[in-house]
Structure 1
Amino acid sequence: MASESSGLDPAHAPTAPVRVIADRTALRDHIYRALPEVDRAEAIANRLRDSMSVGLLTEGDRLPSELEMAESFGVSPTTVRDALATLRAEGLVDTRRGRHGGTFVVSLPEVSTGAMRERLSALSVVELRDIGDHRAAVSTASARLAASRAVESDLERFRRLVSALAAAQDPAARARADSRIWLELAVMAQSRRLLGLELQLQLEIGELLWAPVGSPRDHRTALEPLQQLADALERRDAEAAALVTGRRIAADTFHMIDQKLTLALRGAQEDGSHDRA
């Protein structure tokens, strides 16, 4: 496997795809990376819960052993057990004993429409626009790099993820499927920094983008640019990939601002009705 220190000349980009990070390794590393100095059991529970929310962990997935997670997180096995106990109490994981035992994801976090409404109300239009600008910078860069660096198995996986979004039937499932697509694009770009930024963005707005808190999200309108992106990646057309990515993100930003204004209008109308009463 090629690495960042393998002698590549940055002034002369290779024409053939070069694997800088191993398949799935980058995503796994982001889930189980070391923790800051905080309440570590709570931080582990939050990390795993967030990974479920963006589709990195899904129902049926088996978590690493407690010892493996303790080593990855840089904590004691007792801290890991405390975190898993929290997730078990929430009904998200179940621990089974025996030869084929382990801790498995058995349910996914529910998206509270009320919580999403409060989160959207707390964001200003300028903040929503800035989030869109940040997404555009990160994801269009990933799209350009993925067009030259992705290998055939990456492209096939990307198509499958787009198909999974097409098949998703409810807002929560669509949010997870959509977030997983954007994270996969960053993996295909073979940039750990872009992947880290994309993960932060998806945790911030992935659920919010699909939550039915204002005007409904048009599933087909969101899906079509991703199908076009898959086509551009297969053609190795970096500019087309970046262009269609930017268009999809611009539509996402418009949708969130529209939801924000719709909620504000409804609130004003309700206040007016109460005043007249």
Structure 2
Amino acid sequence: MDSKVDAVVDRLLTAIDVGEYLPGSKLPAERDLAAVLGVSRSTVREAIGRLAEEGLVSTRRGRGGGSFVTGRTGRAAHEATGRTLDHRWHEIVELVDTASRLQETVVRAAAERRTSADVVELEERLEQFRRADTGMPRQEADRALHAAICDAAHLPRLSELLARLESRISTGAPQHVWGEPEDQPEMEARALSDHEQIVALIRSGRAEQAGVLARRHALIDLDLLAQARRRRRAASRQGNGRA
């Protein structure tokens, strides 16, 4: 067995399991995943092949093709998630904390530098998030709204720095962790409330308040990952108890 391939399989299983990639989502191109994970394209290709053998992804050829998530995962993915989150937990906590501080800076800048056209765009993106169906449509609308906030800051290098940092947290960045199905309704309601307040604060130029809320909002990812980690640990203890 190739340990590098095994590690990439675990990362991708975890990403699917915690909702970085929801059913129907397209995985990033092999070259992009290879760059994020620090492995070769052949390693990524073999890992995706294993997921395809398990029926977790399907590969389509031609224009618009790629590897797509076919459904939620089972016991093997839950075990991979437990291993991955335990192994990376201290790193993830530090990365999310750092990203939340950068997000605060970006949103403060947006409140200070937004134009009237930026405000119109933010309002439109917020409405799209509000109207989107739960799951992948809402996740995509969330990505678009966050991109509009970065655009309103008019600091592209800072936005690029944030994007690079987020890619170390999630292989699906700039899309955010969306959680397990049972967590999504509460999380989406929380995200909508935060989004409405952040857009209102940016529109009115209240930079400090907008930044504080944005930093808190950025911690949703960590909350969802912590919930997944607790569940996997509890399941592992129950399994050991039955052994």
Give the alignment's TM-score, normalised by structure 2. Answer: 0.62
Partner amino acid, structure 2, of 1:221: R
Q: Does 1:209 align with 2:177?
A: yes
Separation (CA, whole Å) in 2 of partners of 1:209 and 1:180:
15
Q: Which residue of 1 aligns with 2:132?
A: 168
Separation (CA, whole Å) in 1 of partners of 2:70 and 2:159:
24
Separation (CA, whole Å) in 2 of partners of 1:107 and 1:147:
38
Which of the pair has the greater relative contact order for Cα pairs under 8 Å at 6+ separation?
Answer: 2
Q: Which residue of 2 aligns with 1:110?
A: 69
Unaligned runs of 5+ in 2: 1-28, 37-57
> Alignment RMSD, CA only?
3.2
Separation (CA, whole Å) in 1 of partners of 2:182 and 2:232:
6
Q: Which residue of 1 aligns with 2:199?
A: 230
Larger of the two Rg values belongs to structure: 1
Q: Which is helix-richer, 1 or 2?
A: 2
Q: Which residue of 1 aligns with 2:60?
A: 91
Q: Does 1:270 align with 2:231?
A: no
Which among 237, 259, 276 is matched to residue 228 of structure 2? Answer: 259
In the TM superposition, what are the counterparts of 1:184-195 in structure 2 within 5 Å? 184-195=148-159
Unaligned runs of 5+ in 1: 1-40, 51-88, 95-104
What's the secondary structure of 2:177's corresponding residue?
helix
**Structure 2 vs 1, CA of residues 231 and 149 (structure 1 numbering), >3 Å: closer, same or farther?**
same
- The answer to which of 211-220 and 180-189 deviates more is 211-220
In the TM superposition, what are the counterparts of 1:32-181 in structure 2 within 5 Å? 42-43=30-31, 46=32, 90-91=59-60, 94=63, 105=64, 109-110=68-69, 113-114=72-73, 118=80, 121-124=83-86, 125-181=89-145
What's the secondary structure of 2:164's corresponding residue?
helix
What's the secondary structure of 1:209's corresponding residue?
coil
- The answer to which of 113-122 and 187-196 deviates more is 113-122
Q: Contact 2:107–2:207 (CA<8 Å) still a contact in 1?
A: yes
Partner amino acid, structure 2, of 1:146: A
- The answer to which of 198-207 and 150-159 deviates more is 198-207
Separation (CA, whole Å) in 2 of partners of 1:183 and 1:120:
31
Separation (CA, whole Å) in 2 of partners of 1:116 and 1:200:
26
Count of residue correspondences? 182
**Alpha-carbon distance, 1:259 to partner:** 2.0
Separation (CA, whole Å) in 2 of partners of 1:147 and 1:107:
38
Q: Which residue of 1 aligns with 2:9?
A: none
Partner amino acid, structure 2, of 1:238: A
Separation (CA, whole Å) in 1 of partners of 2:220 and 2:234:
21
What's the secondary structure of 1:123's corresponding residue?
helix
**Structure 2 vs 1, CA of residues 153 and 121 (structure 1 numbering), >3 Å: closer, same or farther?**
farther
What's the secondary structure of 1:210's corresponding residue?
coil
In the TM superposition, what are the counterparts of 1:240-259 in structure 2 within 5 Å? 240-259=209-228
